[in-house]
Homo-oligomer: A and B are copies of this chain.
């Protein structure tokens, strides 16, 4: 074999760095740092970014002129001398809108640059098949008055939406949303039209976006390798490996609920046999406890109340749930060797009742090297993770190119 003969036919691009793109990427580094890691002095920004002090000063000047950053002098407690200026992302002036379309709920959040939540509203919806247009209209009716209130006072930089389904990230379409009854819905375009906005509208799978939110603002902060699990009817998830989100080329990856764990199991909503969510999803838990899966979150709360009162059937159902969670999480630990597995969605609500049997199975079924490095924890953002992740995703275009924002007063 000659190496040269085996070169890729499609002229691979291995990008170099051109000087004119560097200032833009450095603006992005400073603003991203202030957004994700919080306010910082210039010295701290030098430390965080590796840029020179004078470069940092110039970049802060540009971001300030664009109304994205403000600097104020603050004296750290107990230190003498002239206080050094601290730069902050201007969440008062710059916001995004996060949306959520799940099986049981729709929600909207307004989040400022820097991550402060201005408001969250959530509405429960019946667990039924709903035409996309109707659901988008219900959501739009929640969002419009909020957007109208924002338009004068603040700049809205983007809209993000988390949806319970397989999302094509480039086309902004929901390819398949079994529990919503959706097939190939152009959700991005429907939302843009219904909300009448000109800012970017991004959509993502609720598991992927929940993972993003927990990693930036919740139980996954500082973690480079993270598995986030959530779900209502089924089990969704989002995986971050070496700081990269596992999406696949079109955004279809991360369907953890459809790992095959039982060749003699049940038929899943996806058509396959023995998917993990048929054994460890909410339906399976409720079925084993003798409750009606159609009652969803209400039935889960009843089951939690039962186990806390010491009822044996409830305890047995949670034990079995914990074991099946352990089987699937052991596979994920062997595949990804994450530092942390975060249980969100309905798994967050039942965490304390399943964690013991789960850990026993994990000890038995996961490879020792990876088992020793992982902890299984409860989500910090709870039910808000998907809508907050949608808001985080809505920042992407601003954070990638803050120089594209017009300076104030122009």
Contacts and interface: CB of A to CB of B under 8 A. Distances in A.
A24 to B, nearest CB: 10
A247 interface: yes
B262 A4 contact: no
Interface stretch (A43-51, A146-154, A291-299, A300-308): A43-51
B400 A4 contact: yes
A247 B338 CA distance: 10
A335 interface: yes
Contact of A263 (B14, B25, B327): B327
Interface in A18-63: 18-19, 22, 25-26, 28-30, 32-33, 35-39, 44, 47-52, 55
A369 B245 contact: no
A339 interface: yes
Contacts of A242: 244-249
Contacts of A328: 260
A344 to B, nearest CB: 15
Contacts of A271: 364
A116 interface: yes
B254 A335 contact: yes
A28 to B, nearest CB: 7
A88 B4 contact: yes
Interface in A58-114: 88, 91, 111-112, 114
Chain A interface category by residue count: 35 or more
A238 to B, nearest CB: 8
A392 interface: yes
B392 A3 contact: yes
Nearest to A46: B16
Interface in A209-240: 209, 212, 215-218, 221-222, 224-225, 239-240
A273 interface: yes
A64 B239 CA distance: 43
A409 interface: no
Contacts of A202: 1
B37 A2 contact: no
A399 interface: yes
Contact of A115 (B4, B38, B39): B4
A371 to B, nearest CB: 10
Contact of A1 (B1, B35, B327, B393): B393
Interface stretch (A5-13, A125-133, A192-200): A5-13
Interface-central residue, A29, A244, A334, A393, by most chain B CB under 10 Å: A334
A204 interface: yes
A312 to B, nearest CB: 23
B3 A217 contact: yes
A405 B239 CA distance: 38
A253 interface: yes
Contact of A222 (B9, B217, B258, B367): B9
A15 interface: yes
A166 B367 contact: yes
A365 B2 contact: no
A175 interface: yes
A26 B15 CA distance: 8
A348 interface: no
The 3 closest A-B pairs by CB, nearest first: A3-B115, A248-B337, A7-B38
